[in-house]
Structure 1
Amino acid sequence: MDPLARASAADRLMEANRTGIPIAPLSESHSGMTIDDAYAIQLLQVDALQAQGRSVRGHKVGLTNSRVQAQLGVNQPDYGHLLDDYFYPEHLPIPVVRFLQPRIEPEIAFVLRAPLSGPGVTVVQALAAVDYVLPALEIVDSRIDDWRITIVDTIADNASSGALVLGSKPTLVSELDLRLAGCALFQNGSVAATGAGGAVLGSPVNALVWLANTLGALGIALQPGHVVLTGAVTPMVGVGPGDTITASFTGLGSVTARFTQETT
């Protein structure tokens, strides 16, 4: 794709976000679209939002589950940016009208205490940069009609980011074996899904290593205080007004998101 085509695709995604009207997959209108094109389109949107006064507060890693990778025909994760207004306090109402096609998934989040920059970051170095771990719920959303996404569609759409809720109980990473951290996802009091940290590239730490090395190759370092969402530990579920979602993690505690139709 040439620069004009990339800029047009970025504009279409931002317009979809403004209007609440999803667009057809970019992969259909740009048959030769590559992963490099998709990340360039993502960054055009992030740059535009930062120019409007928004700020990046972290990153998310997606496509960390082998079954999801198989569905999209890829063998690698992807990443997106977490902006300042993506963060919702636990238990306070989240307006569903902000989103187009919201779904939710439980994740393990790292909060960094030191910068982390690849390439060449190891598991030991990644763990040393972590301040603490939190349970998290990521609200994923798609500006692509009916979630008809390929790998390039979701990357261009900021890895289908929507918002997130972090739990309020920090835990030191040294106190956990994150591979074995079990999770039960409750929707309105009923179990909707179960999983464990090992579903995320074998361990959520591997997602952090992958992100640090992938961004490092682009000259980008993860920053102290930033949040890294490491990927879903269970399948995602749809949400609507009135839903209450709780993720309960072994050793990490729980986190709850509550959804409302109201705008405030």
Structure 2
Amino acid sequence: MTPMSLAIQIAKDRADRSDFADYDIPDIQTAYAVQDALTALEGPVGGYKIAWNRPELLSGFGVEAPAGARVLKRSILPDGAVLSAQDHSTLMLEPEIAAVLAEDIPIVAQDADSVARHVGYLVPAFEVLDRRRAASRDGLNIIAQGVFNAGLVLGTPSGDQIGATHVRIGDTVHCDSANAAPEPPMDALAYLANLYAARGVQLRQGDVILCGAHTPLLPVAAGDDARMAIAGLGEVTLRVE
């Protein structure tokens, strides 16, 4: 199958909320080619995410470097958004720091210092994921299919400092830590800028960049309220109905 024919099947799977299926994807280049084709079918893009940017996660998914995936513009929701549990097969959240770009990032080699000049602000965000009852640990298929992304909820900024992270769903506290981020946000942003620049893709003004999860995946269900607060930076809330 060609990358586009695989992408057409994956797009149908995602639209139908069918169980996640592994396809014949032989290498990392093919995985990203399928993701490119899937984006062409489902776009436009409003942001990007990094995945597996903790070293201990890489071997578990059979990959050598963190993954990237697109976030569709229509799936980027404001603070206080209401998610429908019925619109997802296996709804989960990841609390993260998001970088919102004030300028396009040039397609040249980037590092943390150079990408920082193009960031408007940082803010807490919840990544929304639909794992579609996945049992797969095949990193190539997960990359090709968008690393489970189903959108994000963008928080409200209140400052420019990164302090302690507090994450709560209902009455359960999932994180209360002074240092919960998997890596500095600008390092994650530089990695994604370079990853997609190698594919001829430029990160653009207004894009929202998810910089890595502060906790393991958090399942949510109808009736749940979720809140993430980062001291000195802001907070994000959502409700599931």
* TM-score normalized with structure 2 length: 0.91
Q: Provide Cα deviations, 1:196-253, integer angstroms capped at 9, x if missing partner.
A: 66642x3111000111111122222111111111110111111111111111212212
Larger proportion of helix: 1
Separation of aligned partners in 2, 1:183 and 1:73: 30
Aligned length, in residue pairs: 241
* Structure 1, unpaired ranges of 5+: none
Percent identity, aligned pairs only? 27
C-alpha distance in 1 between matches for 2:136 and 2:178: 27
Residue 117 of structure 1, CA deviation: 2.6
Instruction: Tell me the CA shift for residue 130 of structure 1.
Output: 0.6
1:217 aligns with 2:214: no
The answer to whether 1:24 aligns with 2:21 is yes
Mapped partners of 1:162, 1:77: distance in 2 = 19
> Structure 2 CA distance, aligned partners of 1:135 and 1:102?
19
Change (3 A) 1:197 1:225: farther
| Alignment deviations for residues 111-154 of structure 1 (CA, whole Å, 9 cap, x no partner) | 111111344212221111111111100012234x4342321121
CA RMSD of aligned residues (A): 1.9
**Residue of structure 2 equivalent to 1:186:** 168
Q: Is the 8 A contact 2:31 2:144 kept in 1?
A: yes
Structure 1 residue 6: Cα displacement: 2.6
- For residue 37 of structure 1, the aligned residue among 22, 30, 35 is 30
Alpha-carbon distance between aligned partners in 1 of 2:176 and 2:216, rounded to the nearest angstrom = 8
- Equivalent residue in structure 2 for 1:231, among 189, 212, 221: 212
Q: 1:151 aligns with which of 124, 139, 143?
A: 139
The one of 9, 12, 20 equivalent to 1:15 is: 12
Q: 2:180·2:215 contact (CA, 8 Å) conserved in 1?
A: no
Instruction: Give TM-score, length-normalised by structure 1.
Output: 0.84
Cα 1:223/1:170, change in 2 over 3 Å: farther
1:122 is aligned to: 111
SS of residue paired to 2:201: coil
Q: Is the 8 A contact 2:83 2:240 kept in 1?
A: yes
Q: CA, structure 1 residues 197+10, in 2 after alignment: closer, same or farther (shift >3 Å)?
A: farther
Residues 1:256 and 2:241 are matched in the alignment: no
CA contact (8 A) 1:117 1:220 kept: no
> Per the alignment, in what secondary structure is the counterpart of residue 152 of structure 1?
helix
